[in-house]
Amino acid sequence: MINCIIIDDEPLALQLLEDFVNKTPYLKLAGKFEEPLQALPLLKSIQVDLLFLDIKMPDISGIDFFKSLALKPEVIFTTAYSEFAIDGFELKAMDYLLKPVSFEKFLSACNRVREYLELKNNKPARDKDYFFINASHKLHKVFYDDILFLEGFKDYTKIHLASAQAPLVILHNLKYFEELLDPNEFIRIHRSYIISIRKVTTVSRKSVIIHSKELPVSDNYRDTLFAVVDLHAK
């Protein structure tokens, strides 16, 4: 079971999400709150796996509240304001649901969380040089050494391969692949990109070049990138 908490200052939205949680067999509602600070004691006392968090609230925004947490559960942001989406994904949110939330989109987001947590909690030792992934209703065999970079588009990811002109389109976000891939070989450089460090041609403070493709490096990931580059340079 996935223990979850709902925080939303709108009673109707709170009730809707509670109904959705109760309809989802693998979710267990640990608590619901109209004010974020009211949830702190529960967050400190039990293991919370998933947080459904509204962004625009009177006293403190969902973004600022989530940033303040020492132990951060996985989070799905919910809001009526689409302009907050980028802020949500900068915090590595599992998903971002725009109100009014449909059960179909809610369930799709929760399924991704379940798959991610299963992968995270039962991650096998890497003893093969490939993995299989579902794309376009087919299982594709992907060799780690064939990956150039991964490009995220909210709910899905494009895997760019050296051996193929067209990328594989996968219905998982980038966070899923952060757990799947070796962090010493594959590194996130931007909210939209994970790169294979082996395939990098040049590195600068603002970008990297892989197979003549220039990809941006954001401030949030620059120090980690250069730490990995320094490790490979020794």
Q: What pLDDT shows up at residue 90?
A: 60
At 218, is the pLDDT very low, low, confident or very high (cuts 50, 70, 90)? very high
Q: What pLDDT shows up at residue 84?
A: 55
Mean pLDDT of 156-168: 95
Angle between helices 11-23 and 103-121 (to 10 degrees): 60
Which fold would CATH assign to domain 2-121? Rossmann fold (3.40.50)
Q: Report the alpha-carbon distance of residue 88 to residue 86 in Å, rounded.
A: 5
pLDDT at residue 89 is higher than 80: no
Which structure tokens are listed for 219? 């401030």
Whole-number percent of the chain with pLDDT over 90 = 54
CATH 3.40.50.2300 residue ranges for the chain: 2-121
Q: Report the alpha-carbon distance of residue 24 to residue 104 in Å, rounded.
A: 11
Q: What pLDDT shows up at residue 102?
A: 94
Q: Burial code of 76-107, b = ≥16 C-beta within 10 A, e = fewer?
A: bbbbeeeebbebbbeebbbbbbebebeeeebe
More confident site: 203 or 224:
203
- Tell me which range, 105-114, 130-139, 142-151, is most confidently predicted by mean pLDDT: 142-151
Q: For 24-75, write each residue's pLDDT tens digit.
A: 999 999 999 999 999 999 999 999 999 999 998 888 989 899 989 988 999 9
Other Cβ atoms less than 10 A from the Cβ of 148: the count is: 21
Q: Which CATH superfamily is domain 130-233 in?
A: LytTr DNA-binding domain (2.40.50.1020)
The string of DSSP codes covering 87-107 is HHHHTT-SEEEESSPPHHHHH
**pLDDT, the chain, mean:** 88
Tell me the backbone φ, ψ of residue 75, rounded to 5 degrees.
-135, 140
Cα dist from 35 to 5, 26, 67, 130, 178, whole Å: 12, 25, 16, 46, 32
Cα dist from 172 to 46, 56, 134, 162, 180, whole Å: 28, 26, 10, 21, 11
Which structure tokens are listed for 142? 């992907």
Listed range (16-30, 83-97, 202-216) with the worst mean pLDDT:
83-97
Q: What pLDDT shows up at residue 18?
A: 97
CATH 2.40.50.1020 residue ranges for the chain: 130-233
Q: Report the alpha-carbon distance of residue 147 to residue 222 in Å, rounded.
A: 21
Mean pLDDT of 75-80: 89
Mean pLDDT of 180-202: 91
Q: Report the alpha-carbon distance of residue 183 to residue 93 in Å, rounded.
A: 19
pLDDT at residue 232 is higher than 70: no
Residue 15 contacts by C-beta under 8 Å, 6 or more apart in sequence? Answer: none
pLDDT at residue 124 is higher than 70: no
